[in-house]
Amino acid sequence: MNELLALLESPPPLSMAGLLAFMERWKPGSTQGFEPAAAEQIAALAKPHGGLHALPRVYREFLETMGASTGDLRLTFGTTSISALLKDREAPQRERPDSRRYLKFAIGEDDYNGRHPDEFFELTRPTPDGRDAAILSIREEDLVSHKEGAELLFPTFSDLLRSIIASRVVFEVGPEKQTRYYSLGEQPGTPRRVYEFFSRLGFSLTELGASADVVLLEHSERMAIALLSAPSTWIPRTGVQLRARDKTQQLLLEEIFSDHEEALSGG
């Protein structure tokens, strides 16, 4: 991934203004229902962790934009509502994770699959630009007891937002079968080859920014989106999701990609 990072040079960070603009362009009205958290709520959430400066900047901006409610946008199998997070903290005394290291930003819900994991920032593992931090999915009681089983679905909160937002407003919009998913194997250099391929086709970065792990690209004339996901411990293969608004453009892009898929995979 260092090769891809070098190509991206200084990857632009995710901003809430960019996130809102992207959502409204691809799915008008999708930001309705967003409600910001109150300043005193944010301060109360941050206090046990060392104050406002301890919050990753991108998370603080998230709270200031949709911390009270994300409307119809579902980011996790649970809730990111700041009121729910504060209420959870007021629950009867129980052992909690080290507040200097972990900050819970989502509470897992119960459904027919059982209890979903909670979501935490690892505050001691900030990103190089200091705007974000590593995240993990694990039930709070398992984190406290140092039980194994933490899931690393996304490296950072920014990457979670990039991936989930693209899914909700582009890839999952009907007809869903119009979205194509590709698994390009585990060969070194594949993310770099894929990024260069889409760049030659005229795709460029979106307002959601990018990282070495999740790169969202858009072709404004073809009205198409490509999401590149680097191999991870969770999914050890390079993944691509491809979607165009127009079915004709979709079929054309699929044909072009299929012609190069083997070479892109390093085969």
Residue of higher predicted confidence among 4 and 31: 31
Residues 39 and 139 in one domain: yes
Average pLDDT over residues 241-260: 95
Residue 164 belongs to a domain: no
Domain total of the chain: 2
Q: 187 and 146 in one domain?
A: no
Instruction: Return the beta strands (E) in 9-117 as ranges.
Output: 34-35, 69-70, 78-79, 102-108, 110-111, 114-115
Taken in order 47, 49, 53, 58, is the CA torsion positive or negative?
negative
- Report the candidate in 15, 21, 104 with the shortest Cα–Cα distance to residue 62: 15
Q: Are 128 and 223 contained in the same domain?
A: no
Range of the domain at 187: 176-264
Residues 95 and 130 in one domain: yes
CA–CA separation, 104 and 102 (whole Å)? 7
CATH number for the domain harbouring residue 228: 3.30.310
Q: Are residues 147 and 35 in the same domain?
A: yes
b or e along 148-161 (b: 16 or more beta carbons within 10 Å of the residue's beta carbon)? eeeeebbbbbbbbb
Query: Per the domain annotation, does 121 fall within a domain?
Result: yes
On whether both 139 and 211 belong to a single domain, the answer is: no
Look up residue 168 and give its amino acid.
R
Q: What are phi and psi of 203, to 5 degrees?
A: -80, 150
Asked, for residue 88, whether it belongs to a domain, the answer is yes
Residue range 138-173, pLDDT digits in tens:
999 888 887 877 777 899 999 999 999 999 999 998
Asked whether residue 2 is domain-assigned, the answer is no
136 and 188 assigned to the same domain: no
Q: Are residues 128 and 194 in the same domain?
A: no
pLDDT (tens digit per residue) in 201-229: 999 999 998 998 899 999 999 999 999 99
pLDDT at residue 1, as a whole number? 47
235 to 29, 132, 155, 157, 223: CA distances (angstroms) = 33, 22, 12, 18, 28
> Do both 150 and 67 map to the same domain?
yes
Together in a domain, 47 and 83: yes
3 within a domain of the structure (yes/no): no
Instruction: State the pLDDT confidence band at 7, using cuts at 50, 70 and 90.
Output: low
- Of 101, 132, 158, which residue constitutes the final position of a domain? 158
Considering the chain, what percentage of its residues have pLDDT values greater than 90? 68
Q: In which band, very low, low, confident or very high, does the pLDDT at 79 lie, cut at 50, 70 and 90?
A: very high
Among 112, 42, 24, 32, smallest CA distance to 83 is for 42
Instruction: Report the sign of the C-alpha dihedral through residues 93, 55, 17, 39, in that order.
Output: positive
The residue out of 102, 132, 158 marking a domain boundary is 158
